[in-house]
Amino acid sequence: MSVMRAFFSSRGVAVGVAVLVLTACSAGLRPTPAVFRTPAVDQLRTDVTYLASAPLDGRGTGTPGNDSAAVYLARRYNAIRLSSFAQADRPGCAKGGVTGKADCFILPFTASVPVRNGSPRLLKTQNVAAVIPGNGSLAGEYVIVGAHFDHLGRDSANARDPEKGHVMHPGADDNGSGTVTVLELARRFAQRPAQRSVIVVNFTGEELGLLGSEQFANHLPVPKEKVQAMVNLDMVGRLKNDKLIVYGVLTATEMKGIVDSANVAPKLMLSAVGDGEGPSDHAAFYRKDLPVLHLFTDLHDDYHTANDFADRLNFPGLVRVADYTERVVRALADRPTRLTFQRVQTAGANRPSERPGGGAYLGSVPDMGAADVKGMQLAGVRPGSPAEQGGLKAGDIVIRFGGKTITNIYDYTDALGAHKPGDVVEIVVQRAGAEVTLKVTLGKRG
């Protein structure tokens, strides 16, 4: 398990980058690295294509493909001379800063994967992280920009096409798209740093339950009080009709204003959602009382299937998401004052802390982004939950619950709240265009 306590002093890289650019402009003794010269769209395409390629085998946590992806990301951070965090327990990486060693961007740890009715499975894996020091008096504060780089590998349990067996799931959109956007943002902030320092981080273990982001949030390499906000990119490669979903806009009182002001022409159609919970890595930071955002271009038919291919991504759209995210992150990193964190009070169905103990429990994970869906779409089901045992699956749209019509998450919350643990309810879902009726025995919350 990797614990990082100290971190480097935050001056080095800004100077390093300035020198690099100067030399390249003046004498040409040291050329600008290729990553700075390639147009964004080409670089994003190259990176996603690699991450989703056959040798990486779907980047399942704890597999060689996942490890190779981590090395690829670490090399890219090293190529643009970012700083790594100090890792006291790793000789050669103990100091952090600009070390010239790609390996020091890798943060190894042992992930503990919950197993139903058994002891947890231990997987050696890694996050990848780097920092771009701020260039002003706020350099001792941080904005974290993250995305998970793991995917399902050949695991069919969390796939939406389990009938295909243990096939490779390329995960180009989920979450090659967010991963490469973080790389793109890293090179932009390295070229032009913000006031606050920007931490870029790629999480492992997301598909197995936010393992990498929880590890990172639980062992932050900087004091938590110095973190302004966390911005998560998960599935941002399928921009359609200019629609971008932004979760977490109510996690700080100032966030909605920032998110709206960053939307300059040609404007995206922003769909803002307040909550900071949700089935992705930002939730790990929100649970630490940090303001968060999650950007998302919505679900699609290839989600968690063997067809989430790189060539199905909207690359010009991905550049627009990167442009937008850059403006948001700069606004967060450059504003003179700190954000005011607030906990969001919602009628969400997965907020056990807000529900009286002992209420009925299903274990569904609502897809909060599916705002234009009639019914409640599921992003997933909790392992071992009544929802899973009753046959509910990710992608299902709940349209009736115990005889009540469900048109949105609030209907669903009310319907669930009207039942007690042990009740057997009939749930009707839309799955692949057909209606499926399931019988589920509700569990007890908490």
Amino acid, res. 104: C
Q: For Zn ion, which is the closer residue by CB, 152 or 244?
A: 152
Q: For Zn ion, which is the closer residue by CB, 43 or 232?
A: 232
Q: For Zn ion, which is the closer residue by CB, 172 or 258?
A: 172
- Using CA of residue 165, residue 166, residue 168, residue 170, what is the dihedral sign? positive
Residue 235 CB, nearest approach to Zn ion (Å): 7
Which span sits near Zn ion by CB under 5 A: 10-18, 73-81, 110-118, 174-182? 174-182
| Longest pairwise C-alpha distance within the chain | 76
Instruction: Count the helix, strand and coil residues of the chain and give each as a percent rounded to the nearest 5.
Output: 30, 25, 45
Residue 279 CB, nearest approach to Zn ion (Å): 8
Residue 298 CB, nearest approach to Zn ion (Å): 13
Which span sits near Zn ion by CB under 5 A: 100-108, 168-176, 291-299, 435-443? 168-176
The token pair that represents 352 in the structure block: 């056990």
Among 47, 141, 174, 302, indicate the residue that binds Zn ion (CB under 5 A). Answer: 174
What are φ and ψ of residue 253, in 5° steps? -65, -25
Residue 338 CB, nearest approach to Zn ion (Å): 32
Which span sits near Zn ion by CB under 5 A: 65-73, 172-180, 219-227, 264-272? 172-180
Residue 156 CB, nearest approach to Zn ion (Å): 14
Give every CB contact of residue 200 below 8 A, 6+ residues apart in sequence. 77, 82, 129, 130, 131, 132, 145, 146, 182, 183, 185, 186, 189
Q: For Zn ion, which is the closer residue by CB, 206 or 275?
A: 206
Helices (H), 101-204: 178-191
Closest-CB residue for Zn ion? Answer: 174
Which span sits near Zn ion by CB under 5 A: 38-46, 91-99, 169-177, 280-288? 169-177
With CB under 5 A as the rule, give the number of residues binding Zn ion: 1
The token pair that represents 173 in the structure block: 């959109």
Q: For Zn ion, which is the closer residue by CB, 174 or 302?
A: 174
* Under rule CB under 5 A, residue 173 binds Zn ion: no
Q: For Zn ion, which is the closer residue by CB, 174 or 396?
A: 174
d(C-alpha 330, C-alpha 194), whole Å: 6
* Under rule CB under 5 A, residue 214 binds Zn ion: no
Residue 361 CB, nearest approach to Zn ion (Å): 23
- DSSP state letters, 260-297: HHT-PSSPPEEEEE--S-SSSTHHHHHTTT--EEEEE-
Which span sits near Zn ion by CB under 5 A: 167-175, 197-205, 245-253, 283-291? 167-175
d(C-alpha 226, C-alpha 224), whole Å: 5
Residue 304 CB, nearest approach to Zn ion (Å): 6
Give every CB contact of residue 64 below 8 A, 6+ residues apart in sequence. 57
Reduced to 3 states (helix: H, G, I; strand: E, B; else coil), residue 41 is helix
User: Buried b vs exposed e over 73-104: b needs ≥16 C-beta within 10 Å?
Assistant: bbebbbebbbbbbbbeeeeebeebbbbeebeb
User: Do strands 376-381 and 364-366 pair parallel, antiparallel, or not at all (unpaired)?
Assistant: antiparallel
Q: For Zn ion, which is the closer residue by CB, 158 or 413?
A: 158
* Under rule CB under 5 A, residue 326 binds Zn ion: no
The token pair that represents 327 in the structure block: 């403006």
Q: For Zn ion, which is the closer residue by CB, 174 or 184?
A: 174
The token pair that represents 6 in the structure block: 């100290």
Q: For Zn ion, which is the closer residue by CB, 174 or 277?
A: 174
Residue 207 CB, nearest approach to Zn ion (Å): 5
- Binding interface with Zn ion (CB under 5 A): 174
